[in-house]
Amino acid sequence: MINITINRTDSGSIHSFKISGHAFFADRGKDIVCAGASAVSVGAINAVHALTGVTPEIEQGDGFLRCVVPENLSENINEKVQLLLEGMIISLQTIEEEYGKHIKITFKK
């Protein structure tokens, strides 16, 4: 199962997220759950960098991705980063609604 943890600040902003595990929906290379989660998360990180100039702290490996939003961003830039990451969450929740046996999202403060 792919486990996704979204860490929010007390004010509700996304501070970081971690994705770990494998969906085991289908054979490697044909697993649409894994491909979807990967595309959505990496695409969101790429969008943050390309559209805001912010480079999050990234750690990744086989079946693992961790992303931390830098602190002390200007309010304007942080709003853009947050909007992009909230879009990522909505896309991941859409995958979870359809393939909940293979992907789970947890929110933490």
Residues 85-107: pLDDT tens digits? 999 999 999 999 999 999 999 99
pLDDT of res. 73 = 97
pLDDT of res. 34 = 96
Query: Could you give phi then psi for residue 41, rounded to 5 degrees?
Result: -70, -45
pLDDT of res. 91 = 98
d(CA 95, CA 98): 5
pLDDT of res. 26 = 95
For 18-48, how does the pLDDT look when each residue is reduced to its tens digit (9 = 90+)? 999 999 999 988 999 999 999 999 999 999 9
Point out the residues that are catalytic: 22, 34
**CA torsion angle for 7, 11, 14, 19 (degrees, to 10)?**
10
Q: What is the pTM of this model?
A: 0.95
pLDDT of res. 108 = 97
pLDDT of res. 46 = 98
According to CATH, the superfamily of the domain at 2-108 is Cysteine protease Prp (3.30.70.1490)
d(CA 29, CA 15): 31
For 51-91, how does the pLDDT look when each residue is reduced to its tens digit (9 = 90+)? 999 999 999 999 999 999 999 999 999 999 999 999 999 99
